[in-house]
Amino acid sequence: MTFNRNSLFSAVAAATLGFSALCAQAAEPALSAATASGAATTATFTGGATTNNGSSYTTSASSTAAIDAMGTINVAAADVGKTGALVALVNVSGMGAFQMVSGGFFLPWNGQVSGLAPFAVKTLAAQERVTVMDDLIGKNSNLAGLNFQVFFGYYTGGNINTLAYTSTPISFSIANTPAAGCPTNTTASTGGTFDGKPVCVLTGTISSNTHLNANNVYLLNGAVFIGGDNTNSATLTIDAGVKVISPVGLNFLVIRRGSKIEANGSEAAPIIFTYDGEATATATTSGRWGGIIINGNAPVNGCAAGVSPCELEGEGSTGKYGGNNPTDSSGTLNYVIVKYPGQNITETNELNGIAFQGVGSGTKVDYVQVHGSSDDGIEFFGGTVNVKHLILTSNEDDSFDWTFGYQGKVQHAIIRQRTGGGDRGIEADNNEFNFDATPRAKPTLVNFTFIGKGASGRGLEIRRGTGVNIHNTVVTNFDNYCLDINDNATFLNGGTSATSLTGNLTMTNTRLACATTFSEATTEPWSVSAWFAGQAGNSTGTADLSGFINGPGLNALPATTLSDSFFDAVTHIGAVKDQNSDWASRWMFN
């Protein structure tokens, strides 16, 4: 049975079900707690709406997305082991309030606490997981265009007056079902269909909100800019399952400062950017179109002393970036695949797969892949944007690159070169023109797996004054070297010797497994190999990977636990511990 407007919510969901064991879980948003009696409670609640089985949370969904509303009750210690009744309510705009009852059915609620019926009665564990909606699709259930508030809680001893519940609901909306035809700010192509769908064209500067739905395929015609530079700002919303194509050539998408991209794909229906000839692509195809450039208002370095805020000009005339807002938001990239990007404008001016230029930490980037870029896979030009679940494959230049003061955090990353292709796994600079420019680059990288191309492969090159903190990482199959630190400014920022460190340049719980482990010279201020050996949990040897998944040898090595709430608690080094925790295979492009 389905959650349906016409049937007054015949069953949606079962409660107290565990979340998918195969899906990497994001931290559930915290929800405020209250009680029916007004007394304080030590029970706490978390929960949210998700189209990705809990890998990320959202407040809106397209009419074709399957959305879940689920949460966790952290039961008050005094109530654990008691008989408890679990309750859930859904308030739907224009329809009223409904309570979930036994069997998962939904019935109208009269608004009285005394009228609440439990959907389950059980002995309370310390933590109770609740799914109130499961795979609700607005278009299929006649619920598109509506807003939802989901409340849940529990009471004990059959006494409704002991009720503890979420005073802050899980809130989300389902968009209206889009009309047929090309959306606002796009035009119909005269070139027929692609993948059996009509093609709608984006071109020039778009200065009002634009929503790309999955009814069509979308084509980038030349340089497409969203918004002006901190003026005429707009949001480009892209639904799950949308494909954006480009003809071969210098066609690319730029999100200007002050504007946003809200690209929310799903594991089952990622958003794909590619070129129009992808059907003939081979293992060595790369650089068929420009890529994605996001310009933000977060701090960068590289300006003359006293200039504030520091603003720089993007590669390829892609606009200004930088500012003084480290928490600036440029939107969301979630389950997005970018294939075959990277175009040379000149020999020294190139577009990457994705360029994050002065992008702030308010931007959400999770489950993103760049494949087959002719330049870097991803490059960070300053900024503070954080990233989780990143895949960079078969990119021709450096896979992961930063410069101009990047200070973000990245966890869970697979970086894999193809045989015969690619330069470095990491190319890391503070600023190529002023090695000591501030704010100095110092990202934190956790749970990376780097797999090189073998012969002539170069692993991690840390240079030009940058800082970095690397933890729980595996580097393998780069024959030239796994690790190289260059330039006096880099060493001196890291410490006065290999064992007297500032904390600005560290590596812990990392396995290096290359034919040549280090590239170092006697003229350098201190020994890279001694620096590596002197930090906790580091080792050299083999890396027993099955593809990008750890074997038992790697999983026997110790992992670092970080206190920063951004980072997931882990017990393994590398990107993927085992088959059961494989967050990549079900959606990535191979």
Domain ranges of the chain: 30-174, 178-409, 417-421+436-590
In percent, the amount of the chain with pLDDT more than 90 equals 90
What is the fold of 30-174? Immunoglobulin-like (2.60.40)
- Using CA atoms, how far apart are residues 553 and 546, in angstroms rounded to an integer? 12
The residues pairing with 451 across neighbouring beta strands, listed in sequence order, are 416, 476
DSSP element (H, E) containing 493: helix 488-494
Model-level pTM? 0.91
How many helices (H) does the chain have, and how many strands (E)? 4, 46
Query: What's residue 27's pLDDT?
Result: 82
Burial status of residue 64 (CB atoms within 10 A of its CB: 0-12, 13-18, 19 or more): buried
N-to-C CA span, the chain: 37
Mean pLDDT for 116-145 is: 95
Query: What's residue 53's pLDDT?
Result: 81
**Residue 191 confidence (pLDDT) above 60:** yes
Query: What's residue 104's pLDDT?
Result: 87
**Residue 16 confidence (pLDDT) above 60:** no
Query: What's residue 537's pLDDT?
Result: 98
- Using CA atoms, how far apart are residues 47 and 385, in angstroms rounded to an integer? 24
Confidence of residue 343 (pLDDT cuts 50, 70, 90): confident
Q: Return the SS3 of 490.
A: helix
Query: What's residue 25's pLDDT?
Result: 64
Mean pLDDT for 530-547 is: 98
The residues pairing with 462 across neighbouring beta strands, listed in sequence order, are 428, 485
**Residue 54 confidence (pLDDT) above 90:** no
- Using CA atoms, how far apart are residues 59 and 373, in angstroms rounded to an integer? 33
Query: What's residue 26's pLDDT?
Result: 73
Confidence of residue 347 (pLDDT cuts 50, 70, 90): low
CA angle 155, 159, 163 (to 5 degrees): 35
Q: Return the SS3 of 138.
A: helix
Retrieve residue 67's tokens.
């959305």
- Using CA atoms, how far apart are residues 368 and 332, in angstroms rounded to an integer? 11
Instruction: Share the mean pLDDT of the chain.
Output: 94
More confident residue, 15 or 51: 51
The 8-class DSSP code of residue 76 comes to -
DSSP element (H, E) containing 272: strand 271-275
- Using CA atoms, how far apart are residues 144 and 140, in angstroms rounded to an integer? 8
Query: What's residue 229's pLDDT?
Result: 98
